[in-house]
């Protein structure tokens, strides 16, 4: 593990298509797409997507470390990624996330915006299919891993859909929401299934739950203080973005927001790691120390809960100051 294989790319179209598709199931996509929906489309849509994404990903990550099904053998498979190779294979969390995000977006928007349902269904299917196929192309999963991940995600969507409105209402109005949003994910992270060797699944799960927790606290806080929402007229599905004013506002919101989110992530990483390093007496660059439970969980959780809170509270405040609401 950790040794890159040599390979020759014979079809650059498939290579770049599936490398790009694989990135749609990783942090770079989550940290851009989900905030974009919050800033430019609809608060209720983004809330539902983030909650579904957090639940689906937690179940998927835990399932991997309970089932302990190995990834495809190499050789004969050529693996184009190395970071996730230390994880188990079943189910594919890329497939789970792609299915959950694409179809929850479809379900959450189909009754609120005017666009052909067939078009939305095809878009969701193509998005999730590309991500699923990318896991086969990159050699990271078997067909069974991908099918299992997509099916588990679909079942969870069906089970959670009837409770969407109830969950959303409680998250916005319950006085216990901030406490539960922090305590429950932390308990889940600290009681994550133990493995015989280090795997990035616990850290990735903590990242996801931390971001969801921070965003949820932000949703609750915005609702309690009746923070003005973004105007719907700026971005309506079903109508082309043809005016330069709308395009400029959308892009400005996105780039200002992403700058703040990435800055928050960088600052919090440094601050939290420095504090934990001082507490547990290890240098910041000590990778083994950063993998310890007492370091990894608070480091990841505090950093990414700050990112979620920043995206839902600080960025909208900055947008308001800049006249982008």
Q: If we measure between CA atoms, which residue out of 14, 49, 17 comes closest to residue 35? A: 49
The two tokens of residue 308 are 């979620």
Express each pLDDT in 33-87 by its tens digit.
888 888 888 888 888 899 999 999 999 999 988 888 888 877 777 777 766 666 7
pLDDT given for residue 2 in this prediction: 45
HSE-up of 46 (CA within 13 Å, CB side)?
Answer: 25
Neighbours of 187 (CB within 10 A): 9
How would DSSP label each residue in 259-322? HHHHHHHHHHHHHHHHHHHHHHT--TT-HHHHTSHHHHHHHHHHHHHHHHHIIIIIHHHHHHHT
Residues 170 and 152: their CA atoms lie apart, in Å, by 25
Kindly report which listed range (17-26, 51-60, 119-128) carries the lowest average pLDDT score. Answer: 17-26
State the burial class of residue 108 (Cβ atoms within 10 Å of its Cβ: 0-12, 13-18, 19+): buried
Q: What are phi and psi of 74, to 5 degrees?
A: -135, 115
Express each pLDDT in 190-237 by its tens digit.
998 887 777 888 888 999 999 999 999 999 998 888 666 665 544 454
Kindly report which listed range (127-131, 173-177, 201-205, 224-228) carries the lowest average pLDDT score. Answer: 224-228
Q: How many residues are recorded in the chain?
A: 325
Based on the residue annotation, tell me whether 141 is a catalytic residue of this protein.
Answer: yes
How would DSSP label each residue in 4-28? PPP---S-HHHHHHHHHHHHTTSHH
Kindly report which listed range (177-191, 242-256, 273-287) carries the lowest average pLDDT score. Answer: 242-256
Q: If we measure between CA atoms, which residue out of 30, 87, 89, 91 comes closest to residue 60? A: 91
Based on the residue annotation, tell me whether 169 is a catalytic residue of this protein.
Answer: no
Residues 208 and 51: their CA atoms lie apart, in Å, by 10
Residues 281 and 144: their CA atoms lie apart, in Å, by 44
pLDDT given for residue 269 in this prediction: 92
pLDDT given for residue 56 in this prediction: 92
């Amino acid at each position: 593990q950790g040794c890159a294989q040599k390979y020759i790319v014979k079809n650059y179209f498939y290579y770049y298509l599936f490398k790009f598709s694989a990135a749609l199931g990783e942090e770079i996509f989550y940290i851009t797409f989900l905030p974009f929906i919050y800033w430019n489309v609809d608060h209720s849509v983004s809330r539902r997507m983030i909650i579904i994404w957090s639940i689906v990903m937690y179940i998927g990550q835990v399932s991997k470390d309970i089932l302990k099904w190995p990834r495809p053998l190499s050789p004969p498979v050529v693996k184009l990624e190395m970071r996730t190779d230390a994880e188990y294979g079943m189910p594919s969390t890329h497939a789970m996330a792609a299915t959950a995000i694409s179809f929850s977006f479809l379900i959450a928007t189909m009754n609120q915006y005017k666009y052909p349902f067939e078009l939305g269904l095809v878009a969701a299917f193509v998005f999730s299919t590309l991500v699923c196929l990318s896991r086969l192309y990159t050699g990271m999963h078997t067909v069974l891993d991908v099918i299992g991940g997509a099916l588990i995600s679909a079942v969870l969507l069906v089970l959670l859909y009837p409770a969407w409105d109830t969950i959303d209402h409680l998250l916005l109005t319950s006085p216990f929401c901030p406490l539960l949003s922090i305590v429950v994910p932390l308990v889940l992270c600290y009681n994550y299934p133990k493995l015989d060797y280090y795997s990035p699944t616990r850290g990735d799960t903590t990242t996801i739950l931390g971001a969801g927790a921070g965003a949820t606290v932000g949703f609750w806080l915005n609702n309690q203080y009746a923070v003005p929402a973004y105007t719907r007229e700026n971005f309506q599905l079903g109508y082309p973005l043809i005016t330069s004013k709308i395009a400029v506002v959308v892009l400005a919101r996105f780039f200002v927001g992403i700058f703040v989110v990435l800055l928050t992530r960088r600052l919090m990483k440094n601050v939290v790691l420095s504090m934990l390093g001082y507490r547990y007496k290890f240098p910041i660059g000590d990778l083994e120390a950063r993998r310890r439970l007492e370091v990894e969980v608070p480091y990841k959780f505090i950093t990414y809960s700050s990112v979620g809170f920043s995206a839902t509270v600080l960025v909208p405040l900055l947008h308001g100051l800049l006249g982008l609401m």
